[in-house]
Amino acid sequence: MAEPRIVLVTGAGSGIGRASALSFAREGDHVVAVDIDQVAAETVVGEMAQDQGLALAGDVSSPADVTRIIDTTMRRFGRLDVFFQNAGVPQAARPIEEIPLEEWGRIIAVNLTALFLGFQLVAPIMKRQESGVMLVTASIAAIRPRPGLSAYVASKTGAVGLVKALALELAPYKVRVNAICPGPARTPMISKFAISGSQAEIEERFMASVPLGRLIVPEDIAAAALYLASDAASIITGVAFEVDGGRGI
């Protein structure tokens, strides 16, 4: 049997992060589940086998929190094989002149600056190991934007650019860096992209934009993360991997 990998997933308390953390755990990996919501992180770890998961609370946009989380992981396990920066925040769709500067700041801080912070701390570890995979949850909004999401699109487009730049920088060390670009996914976040409508109405509207005719589910994205983190994807780096039922075409 293969050695268990050490996998860190941010935003692991809900939606895509939760499904991914549980999928890696089912593979037999050790999973560090990070979330700003401590109870949510502990709940997902509670669904894993005993001693397989470690729940750590923290805000990924806080340099102090991210440093503590990486230090704790390294003290406990001594290495990091998969670093999946998935935590993110949505933006309610509206014209650019109605987006407060504070909201822009928070979206950029969590969806983009946090990635930079995490990469800065983990790149030296993976370079030393001469192995490792970094994953980011970007969005199909980075590939094919729609109106009203200017701050969110800017943050996710920045994320894809950062991933591509880092993929080149770390390739000589055999470290791979990839972005996953989900289409509209059935998670608690989806209703927060809309200004009005019930959850069912919002899901119906988003579903209409997906050529394959169904919403993406967190397990679709977890499967992509598992693949991109695996040796089967050992030649794949710097991609923006669309998991979107054709929404990006």
Ligand X SMILES: NC(=O)c1ccc[n+]([C@@H]2O[C@H](COP(=O)([O-])OP(=O)(O)OC[C@H]3O[C@@H](n4cnc5c(N)ncnc54)[C@H](O)[C@@H]3O)[C@@H](O)[C@H]2O)c1
| Positions that interact with ligand X (CB under 6 A) | 10-11, 13-17, 35-37, 40, 59-61, 86-89, 110, 137, 139, 182, 184-185, 187-190
| Least Cβ distance, residue 55 to ligand X (angstroms) | 12
Amino acid at 127: K
Nearest CB to ligand X, comparing residues 55 and 80: 55
| Least Cβ distance, residue 170 to ligand X (angstroms) | 21
Return the SS3 of 1: coil
Is 152 an active-site residue? yes
Long-range contacts formed by 103-112: CB under 8 A, 24+ apart = 103/151, 104/151, 106/61, 107/151, 107/152, 107/155, 108/151, 108/154, 108/155, 108/158, 109/61, 110/60, 110/61, 110/155, 111/152, 111/155, 111/156, 111/158, 111/159, 112/155, 112/158, 112/159, 112/162
Nearest CB to ligand X, comparing residues 94 and 174: 94
Nearest CB to ligand X, comparing residues 11 and 132: 11
Residue 233 DSSP class = G
Give the Cα separation of 156 and 108 in Å (integer): 9
Nearest CB to ligand X, comparing residues 127 and 144: 144
Which one is catalytic: 83, 152, 193, 206? 152
| Least Cβ distance, residue 190 to ligand X (angstroms) | 5
| Least Cβ distance, residue 133 to ligand X (angstroms) | 18
User: Token pair for residue 13?
Assistant: 């308390």
User: Residue 165: which residues within 8 A CB-CB, separation 6 or more?
Assistant: none
Residues with catalytic annotation?
A: 152
